[in-house]
Amino acid sequence: MSKPIVATTSLAGCFGCHMSVLDIDERILELIELVEFNKSPINDIKKFTKKCDIGLIEGGCCNSENVHVLRDFREHCKILVSVGECAIMGGLPAMRNGIPIRECLEEAYLNGPTVVGNEEGIIPNDPELPMLLDKVYPCHEIVKIDYFLPGCPPRADLIWEALVALVTGDEMKLPYEVLKFD
Ligand code: SF4
């Protein structure tokens, strides 16, 4: 019997949620038996090669590339899961939402305490760069999301329990101890 196929991506996130997936430790061997991975930074497959059963999304959408990737996941995955606070509500990157975008760029490239070597005062504007959105959006405001796993990052046990339930069709048992909110 073919294994369920899982894809993962990181949008505007810090990869901490992916680290939490790897934190399932030796259960990673069980996971490999249980599922096949398609597009994911875990195996470095960069493009979908087939339709997937489950897509795990880390991070919200802060630019046009994030929106493109998220829509691509919605198109290729039967079930989409927002993993972690950044995907669910924008998380830390959404702290910029109350600040005009021009001010954010000036702080990052001109005025911030860590800016060095930009004597010409250039704010990057190459057309190849993804366009910043007016604010950071949670994933469910861009596409339909089927499940939400809270935490920053969600605990490895929570991700494990949810994944096993999704691939086996068992009821998702998520006791209080595996839920963590920031
Ligand atoms: S939810 Fe936390 S761990 Fe996950 S991407 Fe966001 S900041 Fe990183």
- Integer CA distances (angstroms), 145 to 56, 149, 156, 170, in order: 10, 11, 20, 20
Is residue 114 assigned to a domain?
A: no
Q: How far is the CA of 60 from the centre of ligand 1 (A)?
A: 10
Q: Which atom of ligand 1 is nearest to the CA of 20?
A: 3
Residue 152 beta carbon below 6 angstroms from any ligand 1 atom: yes
Does residue 105 contact residue 129 with C-beta atoms inside 8 Å? no
The pLDDT score that the predictor gives to residue 181 is 66
Put simply, whether the predicted model's pTM sits higher than 0.85 gets the answer: yes
The pLDDT score that the predictor gives to residue 177 is 76
Q: Which domain holds residue 146?
A: 5-96+136-178
Please report how many Cα atoms fall inside a 13 Å half-sphere around the Cα of residue 174, on the Cβ side: 19
Residue 59 beta carbon below 6 angstroms from any ligand 1 atom: yes
Distance CA 98, CA 75 (A): 31
Strands of the sheet containing 5-10, edge to edge, are 36-37, 5-10, 52-58, 77-83, 147-149
Distance CA 127, CA 21 (A): 34
Q: How far is the CA of 138 from the centre of ligand 1 (A)?
A: 13
The pLDDT score that the predictor gives to residue 172 is 82
Is residue 131 assigned to a domain?
A: no
Q: How many domains does the chain have?
A: 1
Nearest to residue 106, comparing CAs of 124, 90, 127? 124
pLDDT tens digits, residue range 120-165? Answer: 999 999 999 999 999 999 999 999 999 999 999 999 999 999 999 9
Distance CA 27, CA 23 (A): 9
CA-angle at 70, arms to 2 and 86, nearest 5°: 110
Q: How far is the CA of 91 from the centre of ligand 1 (A)?
A: 7
The pLDDT score that the predictor gives to residue 176 is 79
The pLDDT score that the predictor gives to residue 179 is 74
CATH code of the domain containing 161? 3.40.50.700
By residue count, the chain amounts to 182
**Cis amide prior to 153 (ω within 30 degrees):** yes
**Residue numbers in the chain where pLDDT is lower than 50:** none
Q: Strand runs (DSSP E) across 26-167, as ranges? A: 36-37, 52-58, 61-63, 77-83, 132-137, 147-149
Q: How far is the CA of 85 from the centre of ligand 1 (A)?
A: 6
Q: How far is the CA of 155 from the centre of ligand 1 (A)?
A: 11
Is residue 19 assigned to a domain?
A: yes
Is residue 173 assigned to a domain?
A: yes
Residue 86 beta carbon below 6 angstroms from any ligand 1 atom: yes
Mutation probe of ligand 1 site: the residue of 152, 181, 182 with most atoms within 8 A of C-beta: 152
Is residue 62 assigned to a domain?
A: yes
The pLDDT score that the predictor gives to residue 86 is 98
